[in-house]
Each structure stands twice: as structure tokens, then as C-alpha cells.
Structure 1
Amino acid sequence: MFPEQREALDEIIVKMRSGRMKRRTFLERALAVGLTSGAAVSLLEACGGTTNSTGGNGAATNIVWQSENDTTNTYKDLVDTFNSTIGKQKGIHVTWNQGPSSTDEMLAKYTTMLRARSHSIDVLSLDIVYPAEFGAQQWIAPISDSQWPTSERSKYLPGPVQGCTYQGKLWAAPYRTDLGLLYYRKDLVPTPPATWDDLTSTAKSVSPSKIKYGYVWQGSQYEGLVCNFVEVLYGMGGHVLDPNDPTKVTVNSPEGQKALSMMVGWVGTISPDAVTTYTEDPSRSVFQNGNSAFMRNWPYAYALGSDSSQSKIAGKFDISALPHGGSESVGHSAIGGWNLAINAFTPNADQCWEFIKYMLQPAAQKEGATKATWTTTLQSVYDDQEVLSKAPLFGKLKPILQNALPRPVSPKYPDLSKAIQLHIYQALKKQASPNDALSALQADLQKLVASS
């Protein structure tokens, strides 16, 4: 919602509450501003303007939430429920804005708004890599212990909470997450590999004798490569940045050397040379067409691979946690996901928190899981029988999610990501040795974090 739209909406709300506007005129102008008919009617009721209202919610405060793109209508339903229950009781009305399909487009919109210290959007949906950056800029308000006590936070998955935490403050509340998984052909490999060495040797034992490729993953020069690299690195016990000091770069370590050398060794052996062009869907297509024993991908590939109308491997594969190696006893998935933050410039921060708190509660978390099959962040969702009956995959995800870790948490993350993509990709393409690539990456990252 642009500032001029917000101003027009505020104007008709004021007139409706004061009795200076008719119901029909309100609806017409709300539609002209850009609201859907359902949102316009809901807002009208909040203003006390329906013919069935006996006073309505005349003191309602309107807040605007910009979500990420949702094609399932789950967010619309959740907002409608909030407005008709908690919002009605507490005098809050939420207007939901459907987000763009491009994260870059959303980020540009947020940046323009917040640099102008505008609050045309009150509640922001943020990708997991942005809370630290927005928090460091003081663009979003921290969530205090009094709002969300530690005793409550502990009920949620630790990785997403960690990803929203920077310099000891929580800058957003995690609604939904995502995670990397290992897919394997159980008809070829009855037991999933526990270590990266096991995966490599097992892939060699079945490829090309029994199947075309051993392992497919995302090796193109883009954000997905960062996720793939840190998953192998974390699995070896390494880190990009020191977890206790984000100004200290630790990527050029023995663990980093082992992780990158292993990945370089996969290209052209257990993985096709073309893996350096793969993003999520090309790797999924190879696996789904029965041409690879193993695949790293996100949960979305599970339902598609299980659909016998389009998959050659329906019923022939399963998922497991990503492998580990070195000193680590468990693997660590990189997390994705979306988080709810409060615009630091909104005068309605308390009302924003009431809505975010509602989105964290079991009912809203379960609805996201059952209706949209989102991996929401409340841990009890993964033991809930209603959820498991509708989304059986959730029963396998909880132990994997509990060990999942965020990508490097830094206000400089976009620049860090570009540097990681560049140097890791150069190593995969044999344009630089693993040692030289990590040495150059270490130097580039150190310059970036030193300027934080």
C-alpha cells in the first residue's frame, strides 16, 4: 500500500466513524483505494458501519500488513478471523496486502518506505536473512521480553528464532520456516547416509551402474548455492562467521577446506557437470524423472515427487536429515522462511504486536500447516494429530528442524551472500582451487563485516 493509498484509506475511516459518510460510499472508495470487496466489508464492520452492527468497533485502529506472496489464500483467511474475533474485541483492524512474487521487489519497496520514515505498512513480512539488516538500521522495533517472554519463545523452533536475533535483540517473530532435506531412492539405498563420506561412497556405488547420477543439488551462482555450501560446512562443524562474534570471519578453516573440497569433488563424478547450472527445479526434475539416487532440496519437492501422475519415483523415495562429518554428530539444514516485524515508525506498535501474537498462537500456526502445508515454527504443530493426518511429512521434519541453522546473521548479509556465491562458484567451476577460493572469500568477508 502506497502512502497516498494509506492516506485515502485513513480519510474514509475517519469519516465513517464520525458518521459523515454513507456505507455505500465507504465501500466504493475502499474498492477504489485497492482493497478487495471482502477486506472493504471487514473494515466497514470494524468502523461500525454495517447495518447489522449495534455500535460496531468505532474506535478501531487500522494497521496494514504486507505479507510475502501467498497463492493459497491462507493469509487472507487468518486476517479475516483476527478481524472478526480478537481485532473486534480490542479495536484493531488489519488490512492485508498480498506481497509480490519477487523478494527483491518487496525489499526495494520496504527500503524506499523506511528510508522515508514512513509507516504506510505497519507489519512487515521479512525473509529470514533480513531482520539483522533492518534491525541494525533501526527500521524495525525489537520484540521485548515482556511482549514475548523466553518461556514462550522456547516453544518455537530455535533456528528461526536465532535467525531473527542480532546483537542480543529479537527483531522479528518467526511465523514459518523452510529447510534443506536429503531425498534418497529407498529402492536403491535402503538406509540414508549418516555422513557426507557415506553419501559420496554410496552414490559412487550405484552410479552409473544402476542410475544415471549419484547426487543432484543446487550449484548455480545464486542464493541457493549459499544454502548448499553452509549445509556442508555446518555439517563439518564449521561456520562462515563466529556464532558468538559476527565481526569475526571463520570460513577459511580446516572444516571449510574439507567442505568445499568435497563439493568440488562431486562435480563431474557423483554429480553431473551441469550441476553448476542447477537451481531447485532443474535438480528436482532430474530426481523426479528417476535419474539420481540422492537430491538436496526443500520440502516442496516431496508432494511433487509423490504424485504418480507426474513423477516416475512415486513411492520409491524418502527424506532424511542432511549428513554430517568431521567433529559433528548431526547434520544441519539451512533455514529459509518468513518472519513478522513491526515498522519502527508506526504509531500503532502495540496493535501490531497483538496481531503478531495472534499469528504465533496454535490455531494460526496449525492453519498455516494444514491449509498451505507451510512448515510453521511452533514445535507442537509437528506432534499434532490433526496436522499429521493432513500432512504426514510433518512427522519426519521435527527432529531435522530442531537442528537447522540460519545462514550467517549479519546486517551485511546481501553483500556477504554475493561474495560467498562468487568464490564458491569459482571453485566449483575449477576457476580457483578450494584453498584460493576460501582465502579470497575470507578476505572479502572480513572487509564487509569490519564496515558493519
Structure 2
Amino acid sequence: MINLRSVYVAALGASCAVFAFGAQAAEVSLFCSSSGVELELCQSAAEAWAKETGNTVKINKMPANWGDALPIYQQLLASKSSDADVLSLDNIWVGALAPHLVNLKDKVPAEEIDAHFKSALADATVNDQLLAMPWYIDAGLMFYRKDLLEKYGKPVPTTWQELTDTAAFIQDKERAGGKADMWGHVWQGRAYEGLTCDALEWVASNGGGTFVDAKGDITANNPNAAAALTLARSWIGKISPEGVLNYDEEGARGVFETGNSVFMRNWSYAWGTSQADNSPLKGKVGVTALPVGKAGEKSSGCYGAGLLGVSKYSKDVDAAVSLVRYLTGAKEQKRRAMSAYSPTIEALYSDPEILKSYSFLTDVSKAYADSASRPSQATGGSYNRVSQRIFNGVHNVLSGKETAEDSLAKIAADLERLKKRGW
């Protein structure tokens, strides 16, 4: 059995002490998110590493929509550009970029690797090669106005139907009391990767599978999946605004954090923003695993992870790996955890300082355990096309263009055609 304490100490030591280089300073390019807390955390950590090592870091800002970064990466890597050293990666991209990423197994000490959750390492591993280091972990979560649930004597819903009913009840009561802009539930309804995540959560938690299973078999077209999408369609204009059909994560967060929604589906970062000193919701928000569609099913928050990989075409692979080790080490992951980014280092979930500020990590650890994965491993380099077919088809259901049954039949047929060409 791994001694988590000793692994944690080893990883923490690695974060602080082993990154010095010789007299030749290197400039390492690093792709960071384009704005907000995540950009600030990325920049300040890079500056700290540069100060410790005597190297410099060139920050490249990713597009606001992370999904738009993948084709940029693919173009840079296909041309073997040395302008991309360290890449911020979505866990679903590793398979598509695998030929261009450095195998970190021989470059990162085993004790540092072993400190991370196995699930996060699995997402970063292709053909037994560790192609990225886990940076933070995530899953779809349910945020709720605990003050409003208490006000109306309502429990935290555990099923999607309970959420539907509770959202409608509190929304109507608040509107009757003068809160005309109040809605029951906001989420990500735009036709993009975020909708694939939401749809996966509805369908998987209702016993409808994950559109494509781990073996690559297509499971999209089934009654449980249709029932889940039909329920989500019923929310539009009733407990969710019509505008939700164009919401991404920030769109939903904007409505929720101005006090205009009872429930919100989002990622863990929204806990930190909702509890900021200037937030009108500070102290009023609860967070828990997403509801289930039917009894006996798991809360199936879509699994996500931020990873850091190193390009094979970097001018200084060792310096790039050093930066990755620093950013994914225990010291930096703890700092990020204090801003509500859930760490991938298991021992940090029992760190007293973190839990004192962010006790919600105890709750979300269950959400991570029950999470559902998108079919990126099974579909490999075709995943983007698979996801596009899913989110476009689901958007047609939500916007009333197709019934759930018709759309799922078309999704399944299109996925079969993609599969025949070879995942």
C-alpha cells in the first residue's frame, strides 16, 4: 500500500527543490487560460518557477472556449513548431495529440507520479505512455441556493425530477414576491462540448449509457436516454430561460451569481467565484453531486481534468518538464486548491488548511468517484466529430426541432458511419 504521507512529502519537496539548471537559461512557452482566476494562477506560478530556476516563461493565452485550442495545437504540432513547449490539455485531447507528446514516465520520479489519483493518470496515459501530468480534476456539480431551500423548507434534490419540481416551486414563489428575474435552473445549453457533458450527465444518470461505451459500441439510441433528454427539454422556458440554449459555463455562472437562479450545473471553479468577498451569494451557496435520473443509478457528473503535456518539438524538453513538475506538484496544487481548483494529489484532500477554507472538497470527492467519462478513449482521434454529432443532436431536441427519439436515432446512425471509417 502506498504511504500517502510520504508520497505527499516527496511531491512537495519536488515542487520546491529540484528545478535548478545550469548557467544556460531557457525560455519556455506555456499555454494558459485566457482570463480570470485561472489565468492569474497560471501566470503567477510560472513567474515563481522562473524566479526559482533563472529561466523565463512566455505565456500564450488560449481561446476563451478551450475547445478552440485543440486545432491550434494540432497545427503547431503537425508543423513540429518549437513555439509550443508546455500545453494545457483537456483530458479528452490526449489521444488525439499522443504522437506529439513527450512520455513523462522516464522524466518524472515515480513517487511524484504515484501521488496523483489513478483516474487522472489513466486519462493521461496512452499505450502505457504517460503523456501529461494531472493538474486539476473536475466533474459536473450541482450548485444551489441553500438560503432559498431553507426559506421554503425544501431538501436538496437527489433526482432530476425533484430538482425540476423544487426549481419551479421556488422560482414561482420568488417571482410572486417581486423577484421577476428569478429562474429555477441554469446550465450549459449552447451547441458545444459543454452540452455534450450536460447531456452525458442526464443520460448516464438515467441508465441510458454514455452514447458510445468503453468498447466502442454505440449505445445512444435507447428509451432511458430519450426520457432524460425529454425531461431536459421540458425545462426550457419553464425553469430555464430560453437563453440557456446559448449559455456556456460563464453564461450560467453570470445568472446564478447575480442571484437569479435557484440551481446551477457547473464545474468546481464556480464555488470559489460564488464565495468571493464581493459576491452577493457569499455564504448562501451549497454544492453537491448532481442528481440521478432514476433510482439505483449513480450521480454521473461528467469527468474532466486539466493536464499539462510537453511537446516533442520543444527546444528544451528538460526545462519544459521542470515547469510541468512545478505546476503539478503538491505546493502549487495546494495553492490552486485554495482558489477552489480540486487537486489531483490524493493526500491534499486531508490537508487541514485546505479543508478549513474549502470543506466542499469532502462533498465533491464523491462526485469524482461517481463521475461518467466521455467516450474519448474509445473513439480516439474521432472524438471531436463524435462530440459534435452528440451536442448538435441534443441541441435540436432542446430547441424543439426534433423529438428525443428521432434525434437519438439520427445520432446513433451518424456514429455508426463514423465508426465504420475507423475511430
Among candidates 145, 158, 166, match of residue 202 of structure 1: 166
Contact map agreement 2:137 2:305 (CA 8 A) in 1:
yes
| Structure 1: runs of 5+ lacking an equivalent | 1-45, 48-56
Among candidates 313, 317, 336, match of residue 345 of structure 1: 313
2:30 is equivalent to residue 65 of structure 1: yes
- Tell me the CA shift for residue 442 of structure 1: 1.2
- Tell me the CA shift for residue 428 of structure 1: 1.0
Contact map agreement 1:159 1:406 (CA 8 A) in 2:
no
Among candidates 301, 314, 323, match of residue 333 of structure 1: 301
- Tell me the CA shift for residue 411 of structure 1: 1.8
Contact map agreement 2:289 2:363 (CA 8 A) in 1:
no
Secondary structure of the structure 2 residue equivalent to 1:141: coil
Contact map agreement 2:375 2:383 (CA 8 A) in 1:
yes
TM-score normalised by structure 1 residue count? 0.74
- Tell me the CA shift for residue 231 of structure 1: 1.4
- Tell me the CA shift for residue 284 of structure 1: 3.0
Contact map agreement 1:159 1:335 (CA 8 A) in 2:
no
Cα distance in 2, alignment partners of residues 427 and 362 from structure 1: 44
Instruction: Give the paired residue count.
Output: 386
- Tell me the CA shift for residue 423 of structure 1: 0.4
Larger radius of gyration: 1
Match of 1:265 in 2: 234
2:213 is equivalent to residue 242 of structure 1: yes
2:139 is equivalent to residue 172 of structure 1: no
Runs (4+) of structure 1 exceeding 6 A deviation are none
Q: Structure 1 residues 240 and 165, CA, compared in 2 at 3 Å: closer, same or farther? A: farther
2:145 is equivalent to residue 185 of structure 1: yes
Secondary structure of the structure 1 residue equivalent to 2:220: coil
Which piece of structure 1 moves more, 125-134 or 373-382?
A: 373-382
Cα distance in 2, alignment partners of residues 383 and 140 from structure 1: 33
CA deviation map 1:12-55 (0-9, x unaligned):
xxxxxxxxxxxxxxxxxxxxxxxxxxxxxxxxxx88xxxxxxxx
Contact map agreement 1:70 1:98 (CA 8 A) in 2:
no
Aligned Cα root-mean-square deviation (Å): 3.2
Q: Structure 1 residues 73 and 266, CA, compared in 2 at 3 Å: closer, same or farther? A: closer
CA deviation map 1:370-403 (0-9, x unaligned):
3x54333212223212223444544443332333
Q: Structure 1 residues 202 and 152, CA, compared in 2 at 3 Å: closer, same or farther? A: same
Q: Structure 1 residues 406 and 68, CA, compared in 2 at 3 Å: closer, same or farther? A: farther
Contact map agreement 2:140 2:268 (CA 8 A) in 1:
yes
Cα distance in 2, alignment partners of residues 214 and 60 from structure 1: 54
Match of 1:220 in 2: 190
Cα distance in 1, alignment partners of residues 212 and 118 from structure 2: 18
Secondary structure of the structure 2 residue equivalent to 1:404: coil
2:88 is equivalent to residue 125 of structure 1: yes
Cα distance in 2, alignment partners of residues 167 and 251 from structure 1: 27
CA deviation map 1:308-328 (0-9, x unaligned):
8553x4433311110123364
Q: Structure 1 residues 272 and 347, CA, compared in 2 at 3 Å: closer, same or farther? A: closer
Give the percent of matched residue pairs that are identical in Structure 1 and Structure 2: 27
Cα distance in 2, alignment partners of residues 272 and 83 from structure 1: 46
TM-score normalised by structure 2 residue count? 0.78
Q: Structure 1 residues 328 and 284, CA, compared in 2 at 3 Å: closer, same or farther? A: same
Cα distance in 1, alignment partners of residues 381 and 221 from structure 2: 21
Match of 1:445 in 2: 415
Secondary structure of the structure 1 residue equivalent to 2:384: helix
Contact map agreement 1:379 1:398 (CA 8 A) in 2:
no
Secondary structure of the structure 1 residue equivalent to 2:381: coil
Contact map agreement 2:144 2:286 (CA 8 A) in 1:
yes
Aligned partner letter, 2:62: P
Aligned partner letter, 1:331: S
Secondary structure of the structure 1 residue equivalent to 2:172: coil
Among candidates 408, 418, 424, match of residue 394 of structure 2: 424
Among candidates 342, 358, 361, match of residue 375 of structure 1: 342
